[in-house]
Structure 1
Amino acid sequence: MLKGAMEYAPSTFEERGAAVAFTTPLLSQTRVRRGERSKLEVLIPSLSQGMGIYVVAWKAVPEMVSMTMHDRYLHDLIVKEEACSPHEIRRATLRAARRGLAGPQAAQAARRALDEDEEQGTLTHYLLILAILKAVGLESPEMLRAGLDTDEGQRLTRELMTRAAESLAMDAALLYARLADVAAVTAPVGLAHSPRPGRLVRGLTDLKSFRDSMTDWAHAVPGDAAPVAVFCAEVAQHTIGIGEAVLAEFHRRIGAIGPLLQAWDREIVQLRAQAARMAWLLDGWSHITGAWEVVQAESRQQQAATVNDLFRILPLLPRKECSRDLMAESKEVKPAHRRSVRMLEDWRTGRMDIDAIRRIEAVKARVP
């Protein structure tokens, strides 16, 4: 059911919803959240160039919009799993892309992403073991030389971790269980001194590059899209500022691994909350940074069109996360946006913009 247009000024990330990587242009990066009676609903911005956000019952979306095969499958996955957090949506998105419904390159990218997730989890677990041993003064050159993937390395690790558990006044099995929980929470973010940055740390780095590139583009290409680009860069900067503060606190907490494991009930709740906040902060930005990178090889006209497309799906910070009223500022930019925006799809007739679909699939071909 289409509930109609509304002014969209969410107070929390949960109210803003999680971005969904649909390939249908009108639905690309629309957001899903829990609405009345915990039912899923989707927020669709600027239908037919309107000013408001349309709230649509999730199950009604296929009846309202002509969807690609990929999007119908992804939609069904989200309905079945009732997913609405960034982690859950990303997992469903990778499952859908892995089937090849968004093209073979997107399928390969999804498989690479899943493999990288597994490798990152293993690396994080290994580095946390080293951190625990260092915290209790049990660093072992022999274990490092042997490696955790050998029988000798695993034997030495078990001996040292048993001694570490004694130093921390806890059972060895409990230490291993808590370590596994910390690794699962930490892997998507990444450790401060990891040789391979975590996915969310890489996302923050990509966002900084996007901010700089968008600022430079606005100065180099004056026109109706320039103030839109400046606003996109400002929203990125505010997100970066909050993200860096959250990341610093997250890494500080991980750095004190001994106290974290001992004051477990309090510390793990805080750690999970900070990891979740990082995921919500960066939710939706990977598509935006990827789309902007893809369009760098195209004409200035296409770049301007992309700026306007990105403005439509910009992840504005909720009121409780930002001291500035970015929603009010976005309204000041909308006149410039309307002067140069182009329609992606006539939502009443369902005609698709095939070029736009191909550009979205090109973004999905990047590792999520």
Structure 2
Amino acid sequence: MTSPASAAPRALLSDFQPATFLERGATVPFTSPLLQQARVRLGIGGLREVVMRNPSGGPGWYVGPWEGVVEIARVTVHDRLVFKRIEETGAISPLEIRRAARAVSAEGYGGQAAKGAAIAAIEAEEREWRGGYATLLATLLGQAGLAGSDTIAKAHSRQELINLAPALLAPIAPRLGLAPEVLAQTLEELAAVLARIGGTADRPTQTGRDLAAVERMLAEVKALAEEDPRADPDSARAILDVGRMTAALAADALARARAEATRPQALLMAWAEDRVATKARLTRAEWLLDGWAVLVSLWDWAGDMAPGSRRHVLPELHLLLPILPREVTGATVQPLAAPNHARKVARGSEWLAEVAEADVIARNERALARTVA
């Protein structure tokens, strides 16, 4: 854990238009209302920082040391454990954060729905990893004119596949300039990234499913804005503008990553030469969609509530919109978020605020079922 003496200074930014995804940070699926859509990033000197809406409820963005995030407000047990897990693992990317939160949810923190979703997601990711690894290995061998597909098909566990790889890859290793063990390790690392992407659009894995969910929500927001004159037009417009750009960019990034996966020799060489740049390309869709799972979940939650609830949730979705960094928008200025006025509680009515906060936490725990997938 970072010591207080070396922690980054706290700052309140009136505007926040990050240049890169790394500057924007990755969303942490906290359930406490004040920490909703908070992000963690690496700051100056490699120290972790938190980026979140102004905790006072006023305009602007708070940037401060990550180590103090759970002291900003009363937080749930789930949030403290997610914070601890991130500290232990050093998670910093959307996929790493998701895995850290998933491990906490799988232990039962965050509610039963999140627990079931987390366990199912862990099992699905293992299946998708094995499928991705086997496909990469078989394609690599096939393109080199080597046999091995039958042997690969008989492997039924991660370890069996890993054990097979060095011997199967030995004939290819010299032409790639890599030792068989290094080649096998590189393949293993690539499989972990490609497991969420999937090989083709007709067999989508988690990133493809996330994109489809965002596109479905945008279509429903558009329909609501056209049919309900009481729907806030500014919020609907902002959600659609940012959402459409995000979805289009994510679809393109996903298609490019899948295309790279069909050329495993070139991909392995690129990974060995510049792991950071190659990983950034392959995970671009993941970064683009980061934070949208919460919005989709809140939208679906509102759809299960009383009529008109989706109209009322639009300003909150507007407020929680993930900001697109300038590396993908260029000079485009994103729509400003809705005002975030501080909540006022009349004297003697504090218990009502507690009830409302408890309801929001319960709703956010339901959102975990999607965000940990």
Give the TM interval when normalised to the shorter protein.
0.7 to 0.9
| Residue 362 of structure 2 corresponds to residue 358 of structure 1 | yes
Which residue of structure 2 lines up, in the alignment, with residue 254 of structure 1? 261
CA distance in 2, matches of 1:324, 1:262: 34
Match for 2:249 among 220, 242, 249?
Answer: 242
Distance 1:354 1:183, change over 3 A: same
CA distance in 2, matches of 1:244, 1:6: 32
Which residue of structure 2 lines up, in the alignment, with residue 330 of structure 1? 336
Distance 1:217 1:118, change over 3 A: same
State whether residues 224 and 311 of structure 2, in contact with CA within 8 Å, keep that contact through their aligned partners in structure 1. no
1:135-284 alignment runs, 5 A limit = 135-138=143-146, 147-149=154-156, 172-192=180-200, 196-223=203-230, 225-261=232-268, 265-266=272-273, 269-284=276-291
State whether residues 189 and 200 of structure 1, in contact with CA within 8 Å, keep that contact through their aligned partners in structure 2. yes
| Residue 80 of structure 2 corresponds to residue 72 of structure 1 | yes
State whether residues 246 and 288 of structure 2, in contact with CA within 8 Å, keep that contact through their aligned partners in structure 1. yes
Give the residue type in structure 1 aligned to 2:336.
S
CA drift at 1:168? 6.6
> Unmatched 5+ residue regions in structure 1?
none
CA drift at 1:90? 1.4
CA drift at 1:160? 6.2
Distance 1:12 1:172, change over 3 A: closer
State whether residues 138 and 149 of structure 2, in contact with CA within 8 Å, keep that contact through their aligned partners in structure 1. no
Aligned partner of residue 197 in structure 1, secondary structure: coil
CA drift at 1:268? 5.0
CA drift at 1:204? 1.6
Listed one character per residue, the Cα deviations across residues 30-69 of structure 1 (whole Å, up to 9, x for unaligned) are 1122334433332221545422112233333333311111
CA distance in 2, matches of 1:54, 1:158: 49
State whether residues 288 and 310 of structure 1, in contact with CA within 8 Å, keep that contact through their aligned partners in structure 2. yes
Alignment length, in residue pairs? 355
Listed one character per residue, the Cα deviations across residues 148-184 of structure 1 (whole Å, up to 9, x for unaligned) are 339xx98999886555668878665454333323212
CA distance in 2, matches of 1:72, 1:26: 14
Which residue of structure 2 lines up, in the alignment, with residue 317 of structure 1? 324
Distance 1:157 1:49, change over 3 A: closer
Identity %: 29
CA drift at 1:79? 3.6
TM-score (norm 2): 0.82
State whether residues 210 and 233 of structure 1, in contact with CA within 8 Å, keep that contact through their aligned partners in structure 2. no
TM-score (norm 1): 0.83
Match for 2:304 among 292, 297, 302?
Answer: 297
Aligned partner of residue 54 in structure 1, secondary structure: strand
| Residue 137 of structure 2 corresponds to residue 129 of structure 1 | yes
Aligned partner of residue 120 in structure 1, secondary structure: helix
Give the residue type in structure 1 aligned to 2:79.
D
CA drift at 1:200? 1.4
| Residue 19 of structure 2 corresponds to residue 17 of structure 1 | no
| Residue 57 of structure 2 corresponds to residue 53 of structure 1 | no
CA distance in 1, matches of 2:359, 2:148: 57
| Residue 93 of structure 2 corresponds to residue 93 of structure 1 | no
CA distance in 2, matches of 1:202, 1:244: 11
Distance 1:344 1:267, change over 3 A: farther
State whether residues 12 and 54 of structure 2, in contact with CA within 8 Å, keep that contact through their aligned partners in structure 1. no
Aligned partner of residue 42 in structure 1, secondary structure: strand
CA drift at 1:238? 0.6
Distance 1:262 1:224, change over 3 A: closer
CA drift at 1:122? 0.5
CA drift at 1:361? 1.2
Listed one character per residue, the Cα deviations across residues 301-334 of structure 1 (whole Å, up to 9, x for unaligned) are 322332222222211101121135343x226xx3
Aligned partner of residue 353 in structure 1, secondary structure: helix
CA distance in 2, matches of 1:142, 1:160: 12
Distance 1:309 1:284, change over 3 A: same
CA drift at 1:344? 10
Which residue of structure 1 lines up, in the alignment, with residue 4 of structure 2? none
CA distance in 1, matches of 2:68, 2:287: 25
CA distance in 2, matches of 1:5, 1:345: 26
CA distance in 2, matches of 1:365, 1:262: 37
